A and B are shown apart, each in its own frame.
Chain A
Amino acid sequence: MSLLEFENVTLKFGGLTAVNDLSFEVEEGEVFAIVGPNGAGKSTVFNLISRFYDPYAGRIRFDGHDLLQVKPSGVAAYGVARTFQNIELFDHATVLDNLLVGRHRHRRTSLLSELFFTPSVKKQELQNRHVVEEIIDFLDLQPYRDKMIAGLPYGVRKVVEVARALATEPKLLLLDEPASGLSVEETTDMRWWIDDIRRQMGITVLMVEHDMGLVSGVSDRVLAMADGAKLALGTPAEVQSDPAVIEAYLGRAA
């Protein structure tokens, strides 16, 4: 059984078909990339998994659960974490607090015990902090630990968002354009991190990315999309040489 399964998923906005009869599976432990021109429906796939949209038809299963029965805030509890294309961090909180919000799905205490900060809350906080510190070490965020997000450079925010997603200890990590807007050095860092996330932490990664260097460098399989439908699916090399993909990117040869 695959970790994530899309089965004939269709999504329509009014008359526009954003995702058209899309099926694919993401296997446990792989890095799976989705590529395609702008407006191909890549981010929509993520938003479907996050349950921001209800599909018009089809099924989405994650780890044996029917994801369509889950409400948007329940998706994280099954072990799905994500980043956003345009960075959605908690701007007026510190990096540490942002990461600690990522621990929310592991909350075991009640409001009442938190108001009195009972020993069990304290124990949980120390545990949360322990996990978060390891992620901070992993992604080299130590200099920014107590800084407000609002004052951080773009590249750092991008990393903080990945860190916050990791803090939830997910089974599946969704990265929405992790390298967009990053410099060449930062993109290289991101590449090693994605590799390490898969190898060291054993987390399955599903990402949307335009940078073909990054995609072919880290991903095991690539799904190419155009106009909401599947164009090609295979190894990076296979997809890059697929005539349909070349046509979608470069246009029909004259």
Chain B
Amino acid sequence: MDTLQLLISGLANGCVYGLIALGFVLIYKATEAVNFAQGDLMMLGAFIAIGLTNAEYMGLPFLPSVILSIGIMGVIGYLLDRFVIRLMFGQSQVAVVILTIALGFVIRFVAGLIWGHEPHALENPMAGGEVRLGDLVLGMEDVAVIVVTLLLTFGLFAFFARTKLGLAMQGASQNQLAAYYMGIPVKRVQGLVWALAGAVAAIAGILFAAKGSVDPSTGLLGIKAFAAAVIGGFGSLPGALVGGLIVGVMEPFAARYIAAGYSQIAPYALLVAMLIFRPSGIFSQTRVKKV
């Protein structure tokens, strides 16, 4: 029973990692760039929701403010692409990586200016709620996190596999010029992906802030989400979720069964091992360049 409890809390954490990883994968799938600021976007989304909902700020009712903050983050994602990322059109992956790291710095700084550096929790109707399954007692928030994440992942997966726009996004990533010639509005598609990533970040942030608390450096969680994305194989949406769950579940078990001092290394050690032995992840997409 104890093990099961650990498993559930690990799964809930893993879902948040998975959601951030989902953001990486979305942008990677559509633009071949990696957004190192995804964790910071999540933090920003959480703070926007807190700013709208919590009594000390605006005190709006929970549901409308959640929807509003997801919308705001979508717009922020779009604007980031429109005014910053798009100027980098066609430059190397690494340049975009450095740019997004810098963006993360700036977002952290701005969030610190507005909301301060103390941890905040999101006031929400689920707080303290419980779901009982036999002897098992689950936090309402944990259940919500798991359900929302599953729905979102498979929704996005279906979107990329089935809809025209989703396919256009994939095409745009594999060869911009060819996609452009095929009549895919590459730039608009890229903007939409960033908006989508912003919205996903907001959802991750809201779920995270409902479960615990956030402060401006929470965005560094993004690094663990990298582990998730790499394990899943950058470019695979279900892979990101699976990777997130692996990392999330590993943490509480490592803390329980491995000596203190070694346990927090576990996700990074797994990341390093993964990169050494199977860099293309569980769901591989890498092939050899043709000359």
A residues apposed to B, CB below 8 Å = 43, 47, 52, 84-86, 88
Closest chain B residue to A47, Cβ basis: B291
Main secondary structure of the interface of A (DSSP, over half): loop
Q: In the complex, what distance in Å separates the CA atom of A88 from the CA atom of B291?
A: 9
Q: In the complex, what distance in Å separates the CA atom of A43 from the CA atom of B291?
A: 8
Q: In the complex, what distance in Å separates the CA atom of A198 from the CA atom of B291?
A: 26
7 residue pairs bridging A and B, Cβ less than 8 Å apart: A43-B291, A47-B291, A52-B291, A84-B291, A85-B291, A86-B291, A88-B291
Chain B residues contacting A84 (CB-CB under 8 Å) are 291
B residues apposed to A, CB below 8 Å = 291
Closest chain B residue to A88, Cβ basis: B291
Chain B residues contacting A86 (CB-CB under 8 Å) are 291
Chain B residues contacting A47 (CB-CB under 8 Å) are 291
Q: In the complex, what distance in Å separates the CA atom of A113 from the CA atom of B291?
A: 35
Q: Total number of A-B contacts with CB less than 8 angstroms?
A: 7
Chain A residues contacting B291 (CB-CB under 8 Å) are 43, 47, 52, 84-86, 88
Chain B residues contacting A85 (CB-CB under 8 Å) are 291
Nearest CB of A to B16, in Å? 39
Nearest CB of B to A14, in Å? 11
Q: In the complex, what distance in Å separates the CA atom of A85 from the CA atom of B289?
A: 13
Closest chain A residue to B291, Cβ basis: A84
**The 4 nearest A-B residue pairs measured at CB:** A84-B291, A88-B291, A47-B291, A52-B291
Chain B residues contacting A43 (CB-CB under 8 Å) are 291
Q: In the complex, what distance in Å separates the CA atom of A88 from the CA atom of B289?
A: 13
Nearest CB of A to B27, in Å? 26
Q: In the complex, what distance in Å separates the CA atom of A83 from the CA atom of B234?
A: 33
Q: In the complex, what distance in Å separates the CA atom of A4 from the CA atom of B291?
A: 22
Q: In the complex, what distance in Å separates the CA atom of A85 from the CA atom of B290?
A: 11
Q: In the complex, what distance in Å separates the CA atom of A84 from the CA atom of B291?
A: 7
Nearest CB of B to A214, in Å? 22
Q: In the complex, what distance in Å separates the CA atom of A142 from the CA atom of B291?
A: 29
Q: In the complex, what distance in Å separates the CA atom of A85 from the CA atom of B291?
A: 7
Nearest CB of B to A233, in Å? 25
Q: In the complex, what distance in Å separates the CA atom of A86 from the CA atom of B289?
A: 12
Closest chain A residue to B289, Cβ basis: A52
Q: In the complex, what distance in Å separates the CA atom of A129 from the CA atom of B181?
A: 44
Nearest CB of A to B88, in Å? 17
Chain B residues contacting A52 (CB-CB under 8 Å) are 291
Nearest CB of B to A46, in Å? 9
Nearest CB of B to A86, in Å? 7
Q: In the complex, what distance in Å separates the CA atom of A64 from the CA atom of B232?
A: 47
Q: In the complex, what distance in Å separates the CA atom of A86 from the CA atom of B291?
A: 7
Q: In the complex, what distance in Å separates the CA atom of A136 from the CA atom of B262?
A: 60
Nearest CB of B to A11, in Å? 13
Q: In the complex, what distance in Å separates the CA atom of A5 from the CA atom of B291?
A: 22
Q: In the complex, what distance in Å separates the CA atom of A52 from the CA atom of B291?
A: 9
Nearest CB of A to B286, in Å? 15
Nearest CB of B to A90, in Å? 15
Nearest CB of A to B287, in Å? 10
Q: In the complex, what distance in Å separates the CA atom of A84 from the CA atom of B290?
A: 11
Nearest CB of B to A18, in Å? 11
Nearest CB of B to A197, in Å? 22
Closest chain B residue to A43, Cβ basis: B291
Nearest CB of B to A47, in Å? 7
Nearest CB of A to B7, in Å? 40
Nearest CB of B to A17, in Å? 17
Closest chain B residue to A53, Cβ basis: B288
Nearest CB of B to A227, in Å? 18
Nearest CB of B to A58, in Å? 21
Nearest CB of A to B91, in Å? 13
Nearest CB of B to A15, in Å? 15
Nearest CB of A to B2, in Å? 48
Nearest CB of B to A56, in Å? 16
